[in-house]
Amino acid sequence: MSPKSYIIAGLFGLGLLVPGLSAAADIQAGEALSTSCAACHGSNGIAQIQGYPNLAGQNEQYLVSSLKAYRGKQRRGGQALVMQGQATGLSDDDIVNLAAFYAGLPAAGE
């Protein structure tokens, strides 16, 4: 393995090449932000409304990329207009914090 390969592997290992993920995610800040999400996605990340996705236990990077796509108006269909409005005011840090909060919740909603 070349020295360059070791550097790239190390950067992946540190999460530096994965956009949107931060080792310094503030889960408490994500929980505070989640209050506006609870109406549709449930206070524990389990949606109470049929057709709305559960966020609890969801893949963190998926949540980051989804929220950024909604914020950038790149996702369409379904409830995209609602989500675009919700995501518009979120900073990159807000998105990372929300994603870390929901990814850390048990998928069963317990």
pLDDT digits (tens, 9 = 90+) for 11-60: 444 444 444 444 589 999 999 999 999 999 999 999 989 999 999 999 99
Position 8 confidence tier, pLDDT thresholds 50, 70, 90: low
DSSP 46: -
Domain ranges of the chain: 24-103
Residue with tokens 């932000």: 33
Burial level of 5, CB count in 10 A (0-12/13-18/19+)? Answer: exposed
Structure tokens, 100: 């870390």
Q: What is the CATH number of domain 24-103?
A: 1.10.760.10
d(CA 93, CA 40): 22
pTM: 0.77
Instruction: Calculate the average pLDDT of the chain.
Output: 85
Cα 83 → chain centroid: 13
Q: Which pLDDT score, from 0 to 100, does residue 7 have?
A: 53
- pLDDT above 70 covers a percentage of the chain that reads 77
